[in-house]
Amino acid sequence: MTPDQLISAIMGTYAGLVVKPAWGESSLFYNPAGALAHGIYFMTVKQRDGAHDSASWLDRTGVFRVSFGLTTATYQRIFGARPPRSRRGQVVATGHDFSAIDRLMPHPVYAWMGWVQVLSPTAETFGVLQPLITEAYHVATCRYADRLAQLQQPRPARCDRQARR
């Protein structure tokens, strides 16, 4: 798959998404009808290393990274406890080879938040990831509903706590 094919597949599967390109990255936000200024982060597709994010070696020809967040329970089921936050410019200590292609693993910078990555996923791997991507989408929609509710009138969250983690 190419980054454009992956983004097209995601946009065709999940409603309410907006793509915002930035230097070497396309960020996908859940923001139906643009109700929030930026929306809620759902996924990123990154094609270049950054000053504080180069552990995946994205500057290799044809390599790109798909990243999205998991609930705490799902992250722990797959990888164990989330690692502590690393210092700026350093990677999280998980023991993974963050440059490995077509493998689900913690994100080298944002694993402490439950984010994961896959470098240059094949169509087969993308298919296997669908339940996790759907979970990430559900989390984004719940956070969005919570944010709208908070803006309209402070009250308890609309989604269960587990779905928002």
Q: How many domains does the chain have?
A: 1
For residue range 17-61, what is the model confidence (pLDDT) as tens digits? Answer: 999 998 889 999 999 989 999 999 999 999 988 877 888 999 999
Q: Which domain holds residue 56?
A: 3-164
Better-predicted residue by pLDDT, 160 or 98? 98
Kindly report the pTM of this predicted structure: 0.88
DSSP alpha helix (H) spans, 44-121: 72-79
Average pLDDT over residues 119-129: 96
Average of per-residue pLDDT across 60-67: 96
CATH of the domain at 115: 3.90.1150
Query: Phi and psi of 39, rounded to 5°?
Result: 90, -165
